[in-house]
Amino acid sequence: MLRRTYDWMMRLCASRHAPAGLFAVAFAESSFFPVPPDLMLAPMVLARRERAYWYALICTVASVLGGLLGYAIGYYLEPVGHWLLALMGHAEGPEVFQAWFAKWGLWVILIKGLTPIPYKLVTITSGLAHFSLPVFIAASVVTRGARFFLVAFLLKHYGPPIREFVEKRLTLVTSVVAIVIIAIVVAWKVL
């Protein structure tokens, strides 16, 4: 079943509708959707390596625009933001969190924007903390662009060996990626 799903995704990622789907996923992931755009970006680049940087640009623009929606959710829908803080283990109150975010906010955006940790947490909490919108946008462009263009670069230049490795060891690769993501999330919750 995993092989059929992989093959289906590779065909879909080579279709003419793939860029629109990539834009939608990257936009939604930055504010409310749980699936990272990398799951579409990687196979799209592997399917059409000559368009690698175009796909990275689509991801970057959509992610930053979706991040603005996430920021607005935090800024204008404070009860949702407070619920999110409690969910993340910061139930001590908005004042404590806003002081922490005022001190470390830029670093939070830069670090989390590069990782597979859900970026929507950063965007919504940035709005909740009333973090500087211009700094938020600039940091989002830098960090999301760096992430997506790095993925595109690596897959464009080293794609065939990576694709061959993934296809030969699909179950192993999927398992390792899942374990790494779980470990990052657990470490993030603990820290």
Residue type, 34: P
* Average pLDDT, integer, range 96-125: 69
Over pLDDT 90: what percentage of the chain? 21
d(Cα 98, Cα 81) in Å, to the nearest integer? 12
- Cβ atoms of 61 and 161 within 8 Å: the answer is no
Q: Is the pLDDT of residue 100 over 60?
A: yes
Over residues 133-147, the pLDDT tens digits come to 999 999 899 989 988
Tell me what the mean pLDDT of segment 112-129 comes to.
75
More confident site: 131 or 68: 68
Evaluated on CA atoms 9, 14, 16, 19, the torsion sign reads positive
Residue 27: the pLDDT is 93
pLDDT tens figures, 25-71: 899 888 877 777 888 888 889 888 999 999 999 999 999 999 999 99
Half-sphere exposure for 50 (CA within 13 Å, toward CB) = 1
Percent of the chain scoring above 70 in pLDDT: 63
Average pLDDT taken over every residue of the chain: 78
Residue partners of 168: CB distance under 8 A and separation at least 6: none
DSSP for 103-169, please give it: HHHHHHHHHHHHSSS-HHHHHHHHHHTT--HHHHHHHHHHHHHHHHHHHHHHHHHHHHHHHHHHHHT
